[in-house]
Each structure stands twice: as C-alpha cells, then as structure tokens.
Amino acid sequence: MVVLSQKQDALTPELDALIKALPKAELHVHLEGSIQPKTLLLLAQQNGIDLGCKDEDALRAMYSYRDFSHFIKLYGVLTAALRKPEDFMLITEELGLGAAQQGTYYLEVTFSAAIHHRRKGLPFDEMMDSIAEGAAVVRQQVGVEMRFILDHVRGYPLDYCQRTAEWCVQGRDKGVVALGLGGYEPDWPASLYAEIIRWVQSHGLPFVPHAGEAVGPEGMWDALQFNPPRIGHGFRAIEDPILINTLREREITLEICPTSNICTGCVSHWEAHPLRQLWDANLLVTINSDDPPMFNTTLLDEYRIAITKFGFRPKELARLSFNAVHSSLLPLEKRMRLEDLFRIEIEHLGL
C-alpha cells in the first residue's frame, strides 16, 4: 500500500479547522467504492460472499494495488458483496451521512448498475429505488443532497451501454443526472459508444466520462467530441498545451482525485502529480475522493493534501470548493441557490 507522508508542520490547527468548516461539494465519488470496510465485511457475511479476508485489517491490506488493472479487478471482487436492494440503501445512507460530517452539502455519486445486473441479475428499478430511498433519508436527516451518474463499464458489451443509457433516462425522477463512462480506459475510448452517447444527450442528459487517467491526452480529445461539461480525472491534459487551451476556452471542469491517482499507479509520486500546474493554467479544477476507503482517504484528506502536497492557500481552497458546486448538474435554480449559500459561508470564513 502507498504510504502518504505529509508535511504536518504545513497543516496548522487553524488551517485544519478552516478545511472542516469550508462548505464542500463532491462530484467524483463511486457508490460501491465508498463502502466502509466494516460494512463491506458485514454485507459479505450476510450474503454468503467470500472476500478472501475476515477482518478490517486484512481487508485494508488488500487495498494495495500493483497497477490500475489490479485495482479494477479488486473493485469487481468487492462489489460481489452487494446482493439485495437494502444493501444499496445502506451504503447510500452511510455515504451521505459521512459526507455531512465532513461539511459536504452536495454529492454527485457514480453508480455502476450494469455490474450488478449483469453478474447477479439485480433489476435496475429495485436498486435505484433503494438508492433513492437512502438519499431521501440522508436529505431528511442531515440536509445533504445526492444526485447520481450511471456509468457504462468499459469492456462490457455494447448493449449494456444502451441499457445503461436507457436507465439514465428512466431514473431521472430518482435523481439520475448523467451518463458516465468508467472502468479500464486503454482500448475503450468514448467514441466506441458514440451513437448511444448522442442518444442519451438527445434525451436531455449530459455525458461525463472518465478520461485522461490511464490513457493520455488522446483519450480526452476523443471524449471532447461529445461536449462533456466535466471530465473525470483528466490530469493527463498537462501533456498537451493545445488541450489545456481547449479545456480552458470551453470551460470544461476536471474532477481531480489526487490520492486515487497515486494509489492506482497512474501517477508515480506526489511531485509528478500535475494538480498545481492544472490550477495555475486557470482550468476549472475540483478535488474529489473517488473511492475513499479503498484509497485510505476522505474528501477532507484531499483538501489537506492540496495544502501539504501542492501548496494551495485558503482562498484557493475556497475556489476549489466553489468550482464543485458551480460545475454540478443540479437544475439551474437549485444550483444557483446552492452557489449563493456557498458564497455566504465562504465570506463568513473570511475567504
């Protein structure tokens, strides 16, 4: 497992208190990848699934990845523990309640419905109803809003991409806001799914792919033909100055997940991560946790790392935070109300 050393003297108690108080939104977090180890073990036991480990320490020891493809393989093993509709409600509630404890007001959560339908035959309606019910509980208890991105898993048959697109349209009244594209990026560019992407766009839903993570700028150029409002990860744009200019001109947001990139080996070490350069190039950048327990991180930790590893200042953290709500896929009126709330709270913090 990657050990994330930090310059603790760079993170004062005052700065840490500010990070906790800062209003936050997160745009790139996976529902299945957010399951806490204790909950995962409980679900595996209840559902008769052998994860290959029996306690939390052993499970955390599994979260050590040789490379990105190894991470994807392990992700598939862990999703096997989810077997019943109530399992999805439980993990949705835990994600939302945990976010509230970190000062997060809004989440856009990626859900890989096709994995559970293809491998276990779980009906989409039952899964989505349970997730929506969990989100309603979170909203009622702590006020955190949750919306959902259904992603097609790269490598799955084309008919599953069409099925996922149809689920996106079908699930709008349950909080679905976009079609995503995730999984192992090499050899699976967005253009393979062009007809389906355009179909879902014709039904009023955007496309928000993962790109520029395990593949270079060419993966992002391929995705840009579909005019995505955001790109998941996208840090390899730094390799192409023309792409940087295009992202800036088109105001396309990058969902950066620093710890994830290190742990999966997509970035070799902290000094090589281009977060700061992307920020200094005046791109719209957000900070995200991706699959937090699997990378031994939280959204709060990612904001801390922005200070300790990348030298971000408090006002820049506030801008990172505001970028996330500004780049959300909430309906315009709701987004503007949330932006106003963020402005008021950020101003109250003196930023």
In the annotation, is 345 catalytic? no
Residue 2 inside a domain? The answer is no
Residue 5 inside a domain? The answer is no
* Residues near 48 by beta carbon (within 8 Å), at least 6 away in sequence: none
* Overall domain count for the chain: 1
Is the pLDDT at 310 greater than 90? The verdict is yes
Rg value, the chain, Cα: 19
pLDDT (tens digit per residue) in 171-196: 999 999 999 999 999 999 999 999 99
From its phi and psi, is residue 183 left (phi > 0), alpha (psi between -120 and 50) or beta? left
Q: How far is CA 90 from CA 3, 133, 136, 285, 348, in A?
A: 30, 10, 12, 31, 35
Residue 177 inside a domain? The answer is yes
Which of the residues 93, 108, 185, 213 is marked catalytic?
213
* Residues near 268 by beta carbon (within 8 Å), at least 6 away in sequence: none
Residue 4 inside a domain? The answer is no
Question: Residue 203 has what DSSP assignment?
Answer: T
Residue 3 inside a domain? The answer is no
* Three-class secondary structure assignment of 303-345: HHHHHHCCCCCHHHHHHHHHHHHHCCCCCHHHHHHHHHHHHHH
pLDDT for the residue 9: 44
Residue 271 inside a domain? The answer is yes
| Residue 174 belongs to domain with CATH number | 3.20.20.140
Half-sphere exposure of residue 298: CA atoms within 13 angstroms, side-chain side: 16
Q: Across residues 314-336, what is the average pLDDT?
A: 97
Where in the sequence is the domain holding 148, given as residue range(s)? 10-348
Q: Across residues 125-152, what is the average pLDDT?
A: 98
pLDDT band of 74, cuts 50, 70, 90: confident
